[in-house]
Amino acid sequence: MTEQVHNLYITSTNKSGNDTNYNYNIYFSNYGINIAPDEEAYINLQSFQSLNTFYNINSSSKGFSVKITTDQDINFTYNFSLDEGNYNIFEFRDAINNLCSDYFTIEYNEKKNKFNYKATDVNNTVYIKPSIYNYKYFGLRPDVFNEISYPYTNNIGTYSNIINMNNFSLIVIKVIGLIEQNKTLDNFNTSISRGDVCALVNRQDTLINGLINWSDINKTFRKKICNTELNSLNFIFTDEFNNILYELNDWLITLSIVIKKKLFIQEKQ
């Protein structure tokens, strides 16, 4: 059975109009990628390359709040902001201590991979409220005030949960413009829904400023499509929490479109 294979090599460095690295359009209407009624087509995003230049402390994740309740039951709330950039655990610990040592301090326990929080004034109750974007760094619950204990005995205050200095792990590549009988299912919007996911790229194990070099070796992300022609594709890049990756660096994608004759099985009389 003969088949047509169209290989597309797409780089975000060539842009037009309002295109960005995180929302990119490619047009190829002059190249005649048509699917006849007796044909079927498959699309496969085969590889993706980009530099891992994401900051773990960015415009979304740099803020947190501290609330102090005095022994007279008076509340004071303070909002803090970290400088944007890439922090390891020790740099994050030092930055928080520099900002908040009047209210609490944190120590890092390497064996447990947890922070030990210690309130500094026995007469005040201290609370920390991280955001949904940085709670993994603090090891605390997001968007609520977490109480921090004063170290009455053994110099131990409040231990955090396990620390994770990666604010996201996956680059989710969505391709808009495909007609599919069975779209992918995901719960990146907190509930199960049909979507346009064409690849999941793990970037967590790549060093900062290192090359993310991903390949779909086993054709896991090969998709059957029902388009009668392909004139353009729209690439959207998010993380696994459905946040747009505004900081995405320039990238290179290889994509294949395979068109072949349908296999008709004659029914027995």
Same domain for 68 and 126?
Answer: yes
State pLDDT tens for residues 187-208.
877 777 778 899 999 998 898 8
Can you give the CATH number for the domain in which 48 is found?
2.60.120.550
Residue 40 lies in a domain: yes
The pLDDT score that the predictor gives to residue 218 is 87
Q: Considering 159, 187, 219, which residue would you say is the last residue of a domain?
A: 159
Judgement on whether residues 50 and 67 belong to the same structural domain of the protein: no
Indicate whether 20 and 142 sit together in one domain. no
> Which among 174, 201, 157, 178 is positioned nearest to 50, based on CA atoms?
201
Going by pLDDT thresholds of 50, 70 and 90, the confidence category of residue 97 is very high
Domain boundary among 140, 159, 178: 159
Verify that 29 and 96 share a domain, yes or no. Answer: no
In a domain, 92, yes or no: yes
pLDDT for res 268:
53
Claim to verify: residue 125 and residue 37 sit in the same structural domain? no
- Give the mean model confidence (pLDDT) for residues 85-108: 96
Q: Is 251 found in the same domain as 179?
A: yes
| 119 in a structural domain | yes
- pLDDT tens by residue, 110-146: 999 999 999 999 889 999 999 999 999 999 999 999 9
Please say whether the beta carbons of 260 and 53 come within 8 A. no
Domain span at residue 99? 63-159
Position 173 scores a pLDDT of: 97
Confidence of residue 64 (pLDDT cuts 50, 70, 90): very high
Q: Are 109 and 115 in contact (CB under 8 A)?
A: yes
Question: What radius of gyration do the chain's Cα atoms show?
Answer: 25
Using alpha carbons, select from 4, 3, 11 the residue that is nearest to residue 254.
11
Is residue 97 assigned to a domain?
yes
| Boundary (domain end) residue, out of 159, 187, 210 | 159
Q: Are residues 81 and 144 in the same domain?
A: yes
- Do 254 and 201 sit in the same domain of this protein? yes
Q: What are phi and psi of 43, to 5 degrees?
A: -120, 140
Tally of domains within the chain: 2
| CB-CB contact of 256 with 7 (8 Å) | yes
In the predicted structure, residue 184 carries a pLDDT above the cut 70: yes
pLDDT the model gives residue 161: 96
Q: Are residues 12 and 82 in the same domain?
A: no
Residues 50 and 102 in one domain: no
Is 268 part of a structural domain of the chain? no
Does any domain span residue 269? no
Any idea which residue has 């064409």 for tokens?
Answer: 198
Are 141 and 215 within one domain?
A: no
Residues 104 and 153 in one domain: yes
Question: Which pTM was predicted?
Answer: 0.84
